[in-house]
Amino acid sequence: MQLLFVLLVVLTVFSYAIYPVVVGVWAKLVHRGWNRTEATPSMTLVISVYNEEAVIREKLENALALDYPRDLLEILVVSDGSTDRTVAIAEEYGARGIRLLVAPERHGKTAALNLAVPGARGEIVAFTDANAMFPPTMLRTIARNFSDPDVGLVTGWTKYVARGGHESVGLYVYSRLERATKEAESLVSSCVGADGAVFAMRRALYRDLRHDDINDFVLPLDVVGQGRRAVLDPDVFCIEEPAEGGQREFRRQARITNQALAAAWRHRRYLSPIDFGSFAFFLLAHKVIRFLVPFFFVGSLACAALLARERPVYGICAIAQGAFILAGLVGIVGRGAGRLIELCSYVLLTWAAQFVGWARWARGRPDVIWQPER
């Protein structure tokens, strides 16, 4: 029981604390960089939308203001069956060179990308969301990575900034952790997953996805499977306002978990170190073990409670874990404030959502279509 407790505690913190350190040291030893010289390949910016009338105008103005040669940039909006004024607003920008594709029925974001990419004119296809704003030089920053022929996909990261300039503590820690981990993975071989709000790939490497695939997870796998690298450039980022309210974040995390589990199961061949080397370990540590963390935590708490009668130290561990849960609940119900409580509430909410995601996946309930959480 004591050995089981130690194992479960190690597994609980592994993906969030131990693995980032391990892969960070690995990256320093290997440091397999890639060429990043100035380049301006033809590029298509794909903006996938569903009922985004509140932000679509700001996004299109942001896209038109990007510093990239206009004769080499195509801006393509693909609407996944929008029922509000999104399409009408996008049509206003036709005279300014923005192309619009409209799916008559809603089938999900991945289906919309399958519709858009085959007709894209750019050698490089960049993907973004309606509420993700780019700095002016972002496309040039992305493009330079493709001067290396081994690079097939480039991702960035999202800086979450709430109204008034306040950056969410939970999302801040998560986004910085993801950025550091993926950057280290990239310096060894390839990173696991992309940021759906800001990533790009060679159009020739795009393969049609299943409608229930989570595109920003499966497309990097496809690129690695075709012998190219998927890398994170830390200078590539977008700015996004986080979804307000714990319920929205809960639904988002549950959906992501459900889709990622389904994708990981279908693409489990990438877990073979014989075929994919270091990337197989990255996939196991970064995704598979992380989605199991809620079970490890509950198991360690149960072990600590059972062992508390024998040794007081386990009672202290159980109390500490209980305090974490209490702090998280206080933050979720809005009865407490402070950065520590905010972080605890974000982690607890994420783990609870992962339980729901596991349950949906086990029952075969795919999350293909969803309401944008904003």
Cα 178 to Cα 237: distance, rounded to the nearest angstrom: 12
How confident is the model over 72-120, as pLDDT tens digits? Answer: 999 999 999 999 999 999 999 999 999 999 988 888 899 999 999 999 9
Angle at CA 353, nearest 5°, toward 349 and 359? 155
Q: Give yes or no for a contact between 270 and 276, defined as CB atoms under 8 angstroms apart.
A: yes
Range 160-170 average pLDDT: 68
Mean pLDDT of the chain: 92
Whether residue 179 contacts residue 233, with contact meaning beta carbons closer than 8 Å, is answered with no
CA gap 145, 360 in Å, rounded:
38
Q: Which helix (H) or strand (E) holds 73?
A: strand 73-80
Does residue 279 register a pLDDT over 70? Answer: yes
DSSP 8-state symbol, 309: T
Is residue 69 within 8 A of residue 40, CB to CB? The reply is yes
Helix boundaries (H) for the chain: 2-13, 19-30, 56-64, 86-91, 109-116, 138-144, 169-188, 215-225, 246-266, 273-276, 278-283, 289-307, 312-332, 339-362
Q: Which domains does the chain have, with CATH numbers?
A: 1-30+246-374 (no CATH), 43-242 (3.90.550.10)
Split at pLDDT 50, 70, 90, the class of 249 is: confident
| 3-class secondary structure, 46 | strand
Read off the pLDDT of residues 61-84 as tens digits, 9 standing for 90 and up: 999 999 999 999 999 999 999 999
Cα separation, 97 vs 92, whole angstroms: 10
169-188 and 339-362 are packed helices; what angle lies between their axes, rounded to 10 degrees?
Answer: 70
| pLDDT at residue 20 tops 90 | yes
Q: Which two tokens stand for residue 36?
A: 């990043």
Check pLDDT > 60 for residue 373.
no
Cβ pair 59, 325 in contact under 8 A: no
The three-state secondary structure class of 338 is coil
DSSP 3-state assignment of 351? helix
Q: What is the pLDDT of residue 202?
A: 98
Average pLDDT over residues 337-366: 88
The verdict on pTM exceeding 0.85 is: yes
